[in-house]
Chains A and B, each alone.
Chain A
């Protein structure tokens, strides 16, 4: 039984109303995501177009473009929020972002190698390269962390992740600096965007995200035990090694799929869990779902904002999340007593 985090959490906001409010906000933001764009569709008509399309141009815009994009935004957001919360819980490090297991760097390396060796530019094919690269990198990091029969302690995992990340990023830099055309493609991928992904990406990666989210929620309780330290955790009956391995698998599925779908969006997974903890305390059973909801709201909201922010074209979601999110995050950190990991 883990009771320590619960006592601390009681000081925070009421949790059930918070979840309901966040859910309501997400529905509203999703409706905006379908309504707002180059061709604006009245909010009042969104419901009708979504559930009973009449074959009009507006209905096809909703079904072919806006809905897939909004659903992808929710999925990627939830995945990044959960992955960030897991990563910070697993490493007990507030600086841990979901990419710390080498996931983002692995995806970037695979994309760049696919570009230079095979000329792969189609999103549907790139997605698989990115996902495989992400999985390979995180397996490597975990392997180093747990090398020679040691348990993958948080600090070892963090340092191994950092080492692999920078080695891979250097490979990316070497290739892009010597191949201007690859660089031209890479610079747009590395921003992070939801534009033009289509339904195929959701079909390809959706199952991985769902599996990752379920796994994350299942290990929330043993994760709480790990927060007390490996020894105490083991003492109160948590299987430290298994929890950490399952957590790493979940992060890889979530962050790998999110990065493959939308490019590396670091800010969401890094900051949203801190905000969630400041509201519901350190109990992972609450931090995880709240992080998923908040991150999905942030991502879809930023995507909507990016579509209307400039008169011509749009701002990529990766840029908007950080530019809009950072001041909000800093204000929250200054105001509240943030629950430490």
Chain B
């Protein structure tokens, strides 16, 4: 991004007020005092939820025992439960939630639409159709399902992007939305068809996957999402300013010197890859990608998008939901997607009802 854009963006944000810009080498990060406060609070809640997830369950441990076991000390049985079962699951929840939150925040800005999610490029439905096909027809294990989901999701997203491309005008945002709607609907129909034609037990297993579940997560899942976040999140954060400008519309962004086509392509790729990593490890968890950016915006009381806050919100929403799903329903633990839907939905409704005035 050219330096003139940087200056324009800084000027623009200065005009909005209440923000400080922080220069780190060539990158300028906009910092809002309230945003930082919320960010720190979310981080702390995340840590508390992580410790609670690892410490509670059929066998409970004190926080001291948990920390000891994580560091490699304590009794062997404690180490086994903490290191091999609870910690990977809790970490997958945090990381996948974060990835979905970031992905949603990027997409909602790129599409300039609060209803946008990886659905708009057909990713979720493509992943869902392929994963359900794998479960009810091929019958492979969880790894096969994850791979199928990635192939289906990225395949559909790539097809949507190419179909939305037109010589001369490139990929217009509006056309991308509409092509995505069509592709997503076709894939959803394939999923419905497979669910009705399959054996009921297979269908139900597929339905649980579609809802999003963290059952039996291992360190391999943690590594996938962690790697994705490590590589992709900085890319998105650096482009946070570009996002704010893209939100003003294609023409305004062009006038401000942002290369709309390239920015949009890179950001879309980053967002879909983040959602892909989360989907591979936890399934297409309901609603986190949609709700996290909206909740983050309202918590920060800012009109603009914040990828960082959406990431933290997504992480907390997902980890807290899994904790509730596992511990609050006795013998029949609920998959995380059920709780994210209810919790995220209810919290967003509460925020909408009591926010001081309409943001938009």
Contact = CB atoms under 8 A, between A and B. Distances in A.
Q: Do A and B bind each other?
A: yes
Interface of A: 93-96, 100, 144-145, 147-148, 150, 153, 155-156, 158-160, 162-171, 173-174, 176-178, 180, 183-184, 187-188, 190-192, 266-267, 270-271, 274, 315-316, 318-319, 321-323, 325-327, 329-330, 333-334, 338, 340
A330 B163 contact: yes
A184 B345 CA distance: 26
B208 interface: yes
B196 A187 contact: yes
Contacts of B315: none
Nearest to B163: A330
B152 to A, nearest CB: 15
Contacts of B290: 162, 166
Given A94-B113, A163-B352, A164-B349, 9 more contacts: A153-B358, A158-B114, A165-B345, A170-B287, A170-B341, A173-B211, A184-B200, A330-B183, A334-B164
Interface string B114-126: 1110001000000
B207 interface: yes
Contacts of A190: 192, 195
A145 B342 CA distance: 18
Contacts of B188: 266, 322
Interface in B335-351: 335, 337-342, 344-346, 348-349
Interface in B320-360: 332, 334-335, 337-342, 344-346, 348-349, 352-354, 357-360
8 contacts: A93-B115, A94-B113, A95-B113, A163-B345, A177-B208, A271-B181, A316-B192, A329-B182
A338 B178 contact: yes
B185 A338 contact: no
A164 B349 CA distance: 7
A150 B358 CA distance: 8
B338 A174 contact: yes
A58 B211 CA distance: 46
Contacts of B219: none
Chain A binding surface, main DSSP class: helix
A183 B115 contact: no
A150 B359 CA distance: 12
Contacts of A96: 115
A38 B177 CA distance: 39
Interface in B172-205: 174-175, 177-179, 181-183, 185-186, 188-190, 192-193, 195-196, 200-201, 203-204
A338 B189 contact: no
A177 B182 contact: no
A106 to B, nearest CB: 13
Interface size class of B (residues with CB under 8 A): 35 or more
A171 B342 contact: yes
A333 B341 contact: no
A163 B340 CA distance: 11
Nearest to A96: B115
B347 to A, nearest CB: 8
Contacts of A177: 204, 207-208, 211, 334-335, 338
A164 to B, nearest CB: 7
A270 B207 contact: no
The 6 closest A-B pairs by CB, nearest first: A170-B341, A167-B345, A322-B189, A326-B186, A166-B287, A163-B348
B104 to A, nearest CB: 11
B299 to A, nearest CB: 14
Contacts of A167: 341-342, 344-346, 349
A322 B185 contact: yes
Among B185, B203, B208, B211, max chain A CB count under 10 A is at B185
Given A162-B115, A267-B189, A144 B352 contact: yes
Contacts of B353: 144, 147-148
Contacts of A267: 185, 189
A282 B360 CA distance: 23
Among A159, A315, A323, A329, max chain B CB count under 10 A is at A159
A329 B344 CA distance: 33
Contacts of B358: 150, 153, 155-156
Contact of A180 (B166, B200, B337, B359): B200
Given A155-B360, A163-B345, A326-B186, A94 B177 contact: yes
B297 to A, nearest CB: 10
B359 to A, nearest CB: 8
Contact of A319 (B189, B294, B349): B189
Contacts of B346: 163, 167
B185 A325 contact: yes
